[in-house]
Amino acid sequence: MDSQESFVSFEIYWQILQRRWLPALAIFTFVYILSVFGLSVVREPNYQAVGKLLFKRTNTVSALTGVGTELGKLEPVVGDRSNPLNTESEVITSVPVVQNTIERLDLQDNQGGPLRFKDFLKRLTVKELTGSDVLEVSYKDRNPQIAAEVVNNLMQIYLERNVNFHRLTAQSARKFIEKQLPAAELVVRNAEVKLRQFKEKNQVIALQIEANRGVEMITNLQRQIGEVQGRIADVEAQSRVIRDQLRMNAQQGVITTSLSQSRGVQDALTQVQELETKLATRRSVLQDNHPEIIRLQNNLTALRGILQSRIQQVTGTRQTQIQQNLQNGELQQHLTSRLVELKSTHEGLNNQLLTLSRLKANYKQQLNRLPKLEQQQRELERKQQAAQSTYSLLLQKLQETRIAENQNLGNARQISQALVPDEPASSPMLSYMGAGLLGILAALATVYALEITDKSVRTIDDIRELFGFTILGVIPCFSKEQKLIFGREESQFAHQRLIVNYAPGSLISEAYRMLRANLTFVSSDKELKTIVVTSSVPQEGKSTVSANLALVMARMGRKVLLVDGDLRRPVQHHIWELPNREGLSHVIVGQSQVRTTIAKVSDNLDVLTAGVVPPSPASLLDSKRMATLIHDFAIDYDFVIIDAPALTVAADAAILGQVADGMLLVVRPGVVNSVDATIARDILQQSGQNVLGQVVNGVITQNEPRHYYYTEEESAQETSLQKEMVSSGFGDFPDRSRVSRVSRERRRI
């Protein structure tokens, strides 16, 4: 497959050379003679002196000291695509280096003036030796001594500038660092001050230690809180048992204990009890209204008032219901005292629990503040460390640049000094070869320019790529010998254009029959009844294709109508040798009847000529009458072919395509160019035409690299057969089997 494509490409180039050989030969001859003449006039014996420079990736001194290694390092800027040696080569040929060399040696031109920069570069050559890190510097001059001096001085100046450049780079870096150091030191100091102020404000020494201690204190406080809560629960349990035994609460126990221990209350209580005993004894003897009973009762009331007053003084409250508990037993007094003691213990434990809880809350609050403080401290420490690192790095780089400034940082050295040459460098044979090469390049450039500026479409591949439509047929072109077979040039219209009628067995006729067969398979869902045949520009043979396609259709037994829709430059009446006094234009405006205007030219084939050219053809073709006519034609005939004007001439073809079933585009290589073809393609796309395909007409076999039809031998055989056909009076083709064989071979290709 690759070899076949290479062969096709070679044929394409060979055809281009065949088309352009005459101007290419003229340009080659002119350039070759001019080059040889120029070289013979200006050529003088030139001597070439050569010197060599070695480049190293890194400077040796820098590699040993470890300082300034990046200054003299050879590295490409654009990745792997550039070569550092090419960069150094450009430096060697730069204006400062060259101009300094010219001034130092006082180089002069032929007129005695200072040698110009561009003239110097014409004699200078700097190239890389393949596979090495060496640049070869050479200079040509008529004086061998000057040639050697130029090379040596040029290399020396370059080496000096190379060292000075790296030294200036280190010096610039040192000055920059010295300028940045005070600012960097100030940043470090500010960062340290902010960190110190933060620690002083928040009383921070070691946040992690404080966090650990805070967690430890919270744990201890939680343990103490648990112990206090346990003791409170124990006290509450004991108090509950004593209250159940005494049937009083702690407050009542305190009051009872106070009354039991009050001597005044106990004395008054004793007197009340004695008087009550005495009153009870006397009531057993005396009546209640006895004066003694009344006196005793009054005394008892007075003593009770005294008792109540004393109770109130002790307790601070007015209570009468506690008199029965004013005298308790020893056990009861002990329990009451224990209850009071437990009450005091409970209050103390509650106060202790409250204090521990507050301490725990304070420590938790401090721990909650620690992450934020720690984050702020880390930020300040990071800023301090970054500033310190920058400052330290600047100090280090300052020392390095000071050392590098005093080092020899050049990355190139001279390994071969230019010697004075003994023999000239130029030879006549090389001059002739150079002139020949220059002539060939000029000839190829001429061929390329002609091909680029030539917009014509020449091959079927160009047509397929340009339009993108399906190729339904390929119609070969008549050669001059084939035209002369028919005897008369002026009969070319009838004999060439109606080839299907006059040479039905030829390969061209077979091509039209294949076009007819391909049209039957274009639309599978809808039968094609009416098609419009058009082209991009005039002279592409659309009328010839329409006429022969109509003949092929009619020969297949189908009733065909050929309509000349080109109301601008009608041709069909010339092809069929018909009068054009009445035609399509008269039928559209109603001046003639269809039946009287249509002419029968062959079995199953009728032709409707264009008629008189109207002033506005587009308005007639875009009328409702024209659409009605096409509809009626499709009913009356099996197939209707409309010959329309070219797409770039008028909009007639696009108008007719809207009412037809499809459009057939005729393209002729060598006639249409890419510009017109592009315009025609855009017209078809923008108007939304149903393009069935394209027919490549008038193809010259020799111009096709892929041999779409037949070879030259087969073409000669066809010519011989046509001669036999003419001698037999345009009879049937004498050898049908050969036509079938060629047709099958063409389909295979």
Domain ranges of the chain: 211-376, 460-748
pLDDT score of 549 more than 90: yes
Average pLDDT over residues 188-194: 86
pLDDT score of 659 more than 70: yes
**Whole-number pLDDT of residue 463:** 83
**Whole-number pLDDT of residue 383:** 85
pLDDT score of 165 more than 80: no
What tokens were used for 709? 């039809």
Q: In the chain, what percentage of residues exceed pLDDT 90?
A: 17
pLDDT score of 417 more than 70: yes
Per DSSP (E only), the strands in 351-485 are: 412-416, 471-476
**Whole-number pLDDT of residue 361:** 84
pLDDT score of 72 more than 90: no
- Rounded distance, CA 600 to CA 612, Å? 20
Q: How confident is the model at residue 19 (pLDDT cuts 50, 70, 90)?
A: low
Comparing 7-21, 64-78, 527-541, 611-625, which segment has the lowest mean pLDDT? 64-78
pLDDT score of 81 more than 70: no
* DSSP 8-state class, residue 81: G
pLDDT score of 727 more than 50: no
CATH topology (fold) of 460-748: Rossmann fold (3.40.50)
Average pLDDT of the chain is 77
pLDDT score of 54 more than 80: yes
Does the global pTM surpass 0.95?
Answer: no
What tokens were used for 48? 């070439």
pLDDT score of 482 more than 70: no
The helix or strand, by DSSP H or E, that contains position 266, with its residue range, turns out to be: helix 263-283
Which carries the bigger pLDDT value, residue 91 or residue 250?
Answer: 91
Q: How confident is the model at residue 221 (pLDDT cuts 50, 70, 90)?
A: confident
pLDDT score of 492 more than 60: no
Which carries the bigger pLDDT value, residue 161 or residue 76?
Answer: 161
CA dihedral 737, 738, 744, 746 (to 10 degrees): -160
pLDDT score of 11 more than 70: no
Most confidently modeled of 34-38, 191-195, 585-589, 722-726?
585-589
| Residue 694 backbone dihedrals phi, psi, to 5 degrees | -130, 150
**Whole-number pLDDT of residue 715:** 44
- Rounded distance, CA 194 to CA 185, Å? 14
- Rounded distance, CA 262 to CA 281, Å? 29
**Whole-number pLDDT of residue 494:** 45
Return the closest-CA partner of residue 310 out of 239, 274, 262, 275: 262
pLDDT score of 355 more than 80: yes
Q: How confident is the model at residue 550 (pLDDT cuts 50, 70, 90)?
A: very high
Secondary structure (3-state) at 599: strand
What tokens were used for 99? 């101009």
Most confidently modeled of 25-29, 113-117, 282-286?
113-117
**Whole-number pLDDT of residue 258:** 63
